[in-house]
Amino acid sequence: MINMKNLLFFVLLFFCIGQLQAQKLKLQKDNIDEIVQAMTLKEKALLLVGRNDYTFGGYDNPEQFVRFIAPSVSGYTQGITRLGIPPTALADGPAGAVVVTRPDNEKEYYATGFPVGTSLACSWNIDLVEQVGKAMGSEILEYGIDVILAPGMNIHRSPLCGRNYEYYSEDPVVTGKTAAAFVRGIQSNGVGASLKHFAVNSQETNRTEVDEIVDQRTLREIYLRGFEIAVKESKPWTVMASYNRLNGPYTQENYELLTTVLRDEWGFDGIVMTDWIQKRHTDAQIKAGVDNLQPGYQVQLEDIEKMVKDGRLSMEDIDIAVKRMLQYIVKTPHFRSYKYSDSPDLEAHAAVTRTSAVEGMVLLKNENNALPLQDIKKVALFGCHSYDFLAGGTGSGNVVKPYVVDMQQGLVNAGLEIDGDIRDMYAKYKDFWQAKNRCDRNPEERYYTEPPLKELVVSKTCINGQALKADVAILTIGRQAGEGGDRTIDEGFNLSQVEQKLLSDLCEAFHAKGKKVIVVLNVGGAIETASWKGLPDAILLAWQPGQEGGNSVADVLLGKENPSGKLTMTFPISVMDMPSSLNFPIDGRRGDRSRSERKNIDYTLHSEGLNIGYRYFSTVKRSVSYPFGFGLSYTTFTYSKPVVKSTDDGLVASIVVTNSGKMAGKESVQLYVSAPSGGLDKPALELKAFAKTGLLQPGESETLTMKVSDYDLASFDEAVQSWVSSAGRYIIKFGASVEDIRATGVYNLKKTLTWKVNDVLKPTRKLK
């Protein structure tokens, strides 16, 4: 018989064991459901709200949560000590890890400044992009970071978007395949990537409020397609929902986007975080499928608790997100207590950035083989940006690099001589400019970006003197842009009058002496070239090529490396030739918080639909300055007759590329498809695949193989809310650029195939 005393003893014992077990309960890969059960609402809220250091002071029980010693990065997710849930760290992206300091020491930390996104994409080399991702991911890991906030993969809808340098292309296939390779590289280190900014964040003006109005077909085929490819081909750990609205709601509050399309249709199983924004509708964000609100405010924690209590959010809504957060956390280095070294192999990665920058460079012009430079000793090096080289763009994508090799240094490293007077003139001008800006700066302006150097007026006497002394003139033209603002046409897309005059004076003086003029473009996006490209002998589009930029450019100019980049965007004759310019904030105005009804600021109509980049220019046969896919080499290539074979679910095409010139080089081949007529209107041709050779010696050949599935051929038919590949004859075109189709084949699709999806994301305004 159990007496009262014994009973009490056993009850007490069970209680204590229960307590002990609860105390012992720690997060493991296989006990996530149990952890969710054991969490209080407050703890759950903490997991869903990023940790913004400045706002957590007043939240009760702060000592319960881990003080996170890590680099000062862009954001954190909160840890909960009692359940063994570590905090995790998120850092920008995308041209390298953005690490700055640690609270416990004064040392400065640097990460490798890799080539910007545009440059990487222009390599058309998926393996190379994966290698860059791998190197960058190892820096992330070794600095104790769990996720890099990259790749940036919005579409270059207009050349004026300020953040184009972070993005890849006007084409969704290039975007998706490049992003997928980058994510695979990053994640091979056991750290995560974040596809951003999901979606249609193709303008910076009023980026947090603007409502992007896009028809369903354009949305599916252009703006979502790249994300779809990257989600399916690389399984990213995270996706970042953009700032803007899309067809009405904010993307961050859009269930159709974040759940129906991203998770249900594409099978995304990671976490969705918001782009860094103040409090919005917390309930709408969580119900839409957001798992983590960044950067995180105390009021959002309070919101969650309040909303669960008053029924605006259910515990089920919360638990779905909490569970996904835990599934993310158990994959992170912080969860596996990875002992990061704080010293990634920066030396090895400097070599990676030097060579990868070279593959993204596009040789736009090379008259009479002006390049590679031969028998040159002394260079007349003009242009402010020769001495203030732009390794990357501005904003959150600006990497804190250990150094930047500018053009001047790069050429000197390669054994060339630069006139000392010119160097002094530009160096002093740069110092003056910086000092002047420090003086002119309004100390109350919180977000300050130094105005880019304005080109220096150089006298004809100086130029003539240089033409006598130097063997060649090199002029660097630079453009800086980034987060928070779009570019202007005057002095942004177009050359300024000072630049135009400098170029024409240089050409006049140097050509009169039988000497060449080379232009190096140090830019993050397309610029105007049509009006002046006739003047210089060669134009090398170097992009913003990372910290080794000057060395990379010198490698190409001197022929140590053969350029093999090609454009992933069209260079139009004028910005106004782009149909999107009719609906783009072309005065480059900065955002304005108050929301009203201002066209291109509060809402932007994508009335051009699919008429983005080459899809438009090749369909209406309108001339451009340099077409999509264009890029010269120091050697030449021939393409064989291709072979196109049907498979169970599409086609496999192969073509033999031969180096028919005199120098070793690489060639990328673009596979375009022209669809059978009838049915939906389609662009004249669309890129479906691409491949690049290895380094081919003169006379050497390589067979490139490219796969295209029947699904890849599909267009989106709004009438039936399905992707449709119509039966018929598809012409498969193998191009050196969209305007240089070298060979064709045929693929017959015997019967029409359809893939039904959900009728979602309808535009809320008339587009035409």
Does 198 participate in binding ligand BGC (rule CB under 6 A)? Answer: no
Binding-residue pattern over the window 134 to 153 for ligand BGC, x denoting contact by CB under 6 A: ---------------x----
β partners of residue 638: 658
Rounded Cα gap, residues 208 and 246, in angstroms: 11
- Least distance (Å) between residue 52 CB and ligand BGC: 11
Residues in region 236-275 near ligand BGC by CB under 6 A: 275
Does 396 participate in binding ligand BGC (rule CB under 6 A)? Answer: yes
Sign of the Cα torsion 309, 314, 319, 322 reads negative
Terminal-residue alpha carbon distance, the chain? 87
354: part of which helix (H) or strand (E)? helix 346-360
- Least distance (Å) between residue 450 CB and ligand BGC: 19
Binding-residue pattern over the window 560 to 599 for ligand BGC, x denoting contact by CB under 6 A: ----------------------------------------
Give the active site residue among 146, 215, 275, 505: 275
- Least distance (Å) between residue 76 CB and ligand BGC: 12
- Give the distance between the most distant pair of CA atoms in the chain: 116
Residues in region 472-531 near ligand BGC by CB under 6 A: 483
Cα distances (angstroms) measured from residue 765 to each of 248, 289, 758: 9, 25, 20
Cα distances (angstroms) measured from residue 236 to each of 337, 396, 430, 567, 703: 21, 20, 42, 26, 31
- Least distance (Å) between residue 245 CB and ligand BGC: 15
Binding-residue pattern over the window 53 to 82 for ligand BGC, x denoting contact by CB under 6 A: ---------------------x--------
Q: Where are the beta strands (DSSP E) in 222-356?
A: 238-241, 245-246, 271-274
- Least distance (Å) between residue 99 CB and ligand BGC: 13
Rounded Cα gap, residues 29 and 15, in angstroms: 27
**68 vs 672, which CB is nearer to ligand BGC?**
68
Reduced to 3 states, what is the DSSP secondary structure of residue 289? Answer: coil
Continuous H helices in 470-613: 497-512, 549-557
- Selected binder of ligand BGC within 196, 324, 606, 692 (CB under 6 A): 196
> Which residues have C-beta within 8 Å of that of residue 163, sequence separation ≥ 6?
152, 154, 201, 204, 393, 395, 397, 481, 482, 483
- Least distance (Å) between residue 334 CB and ligand BGC: 19
Q: Is 388 assigned a catalytic role?
A: no
Does 204 participate in binding ligand BGC (rule CB under 6 A)? Answer: no
DSSP state for residue 266 in the 8-state scheme: T
> Which residues have C-beta within 8 Å of that of residue 2, sequence separation ≥ 6?
10
107 — phi, psi (to 5°)? Answer: -65, 145
- Least distance (Å) between residue 346 CB and ligand BGC: 22
Size of the site for ligand BGC (CB under 6 A): 9
**396 vs 562, which CB is nearer to ligand BGC?**
396
- Least distance (Å) between residue 100 CB and ligand BGC: 12
Binding-residue pattern over the window 329 to 368 for ligand BGC, x denoting contact by CB under 6 A: ----------------------------------------
CB–CB of 657/704 below 8 Å? yes
- Selected binder of ligand BGC within 92, 283, 303, 712 (CB under 6 A): 92
Asked if residue 199 has a cis previous peptide bond (ω within 30° of 0), the answer is yes
Binding residues vs ligand BGC (CB under 6 A): 74, 92-93, 149, 196, 275-276, 396, 483
**Catalytic site positions:** 275
